């Protein structure tokens, strides 16, 4: 699969297995989603370019290395994407955060956008769109469309669990957007839920069901 990266670090697999289990309580679920998001971004940023800068330690002058790439904006797809933001900000505290509200119509499974607030300079930033679930791919495609419409050219999509149907849809609609997953699951069921999946991510993060 081109442009699809499965980040299967043992810590990620372990934490993902915990959140898949139906009896994992809301607080723990929320904490683990953030931890997995942080670990995924740690893995993804391994090859970020760095540049040399002169520094002075308490002992001597030296050369330090700081990140040289584009500035970052994290864009969670509301609601469930919100659950990944803090875990990423812990690693990259200077990142901006934009928001896109999209929900799936439960009957048609079509995405409906209800909110968008993004930084004005999004065209100059690298964009990480985050959402725990990639099911049909409709929500992620709509979110990518929304940031590209505002000038974003460097976009990455980070999801915890993906279905083959969603991966194919992203590759078809946005072949330039790399996709990062913690796991690629088996299929979608007749209600559009990922199997084995982890259920409704938004409801499990916010305790709404
Ligand atoms: C879930 C999930 C994704 C979307 C995935 O959100 O967080 O955004 O479904 O499905 P898709 O790939 O078929 O579009 P939901 O619509 O349940 O909204 P919520 O996060 O507010 O609960
Ligand atoms: N949205 C979810 O939250 N879970 C799924 O399995 C599919 C879509």
The rounded distance, in Å, linking the Cα atoms of 99 and 118 is 6
Q: 158 - beta bridge partners? A: 130, 180
What integer pLDDT is reported at residue 182 of this predicted model?
A: 98
Which protein residue's CA is at the shortest distance from atom 8 of ligand 1?
139
- At 16-25, the pLDDT tens digits run 999 999 999 9
Tokens of 136: 């049909």
197: Cβ contacts below 8 Å, ≥ 6 apart = 20, 133, 161, 163, 185
- At 134-165, the pLDDT tens digits run 999 999 999 999 999 999 999 999 999 999 99
What integer pLDDT is reported at residue 136 of this predicted model?
A: 96
Any atom of ligand 1 within 6 Å of the Cβ of 87: no
Which protein residue's CA is at the shortest distance from atom 7 of ligand 2?
193
Any atom of ligand 2 within 6 Å of the Cβ of 133: yes
């Amino acid at each position: 699969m081109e442009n699809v990266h499965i980040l299967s670090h043992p810590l990620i697999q372990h934490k993902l297995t915990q959140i898949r289990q139906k009896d994992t309580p809301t607080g723990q679920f929320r904490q683990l989603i953030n931890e997995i998001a942080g670990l995924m971004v740690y893995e993804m940023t391994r090859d970020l370019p760095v540049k040399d800068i002169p520094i002075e330690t308490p002992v001597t002058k030296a050369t330090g290395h700081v990140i040289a790439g584009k500035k970052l904006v994290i864009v969670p797809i509301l609601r469930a994407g919100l659950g990944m933001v803090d875990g990423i900000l812990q690693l990259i505290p200077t990142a901006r955060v934009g928001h896109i509200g999209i929900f799936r119509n439960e009957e048609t499974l079509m995405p409906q956008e209800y909110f968008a607030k993004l930084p004005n300079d999004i065209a100059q930033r690298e964009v990480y769109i985050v959402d725990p679930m990639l099911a049909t791919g409709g929500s992620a495609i709509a979110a990518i469309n929304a940031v590209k419409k505002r000038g974003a050219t460097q976009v990455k999509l980070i999801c915890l669990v993906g279905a083959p149907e969603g991966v194919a849809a992203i590759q078809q609609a946005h072949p330039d957007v790399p996709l990062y997953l913690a796991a690629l699951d088996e299929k979608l069921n007749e209600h559009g839920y990922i199997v084995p999946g982890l259920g409704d991510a938004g409801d499990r993060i916010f305790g709404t069901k």
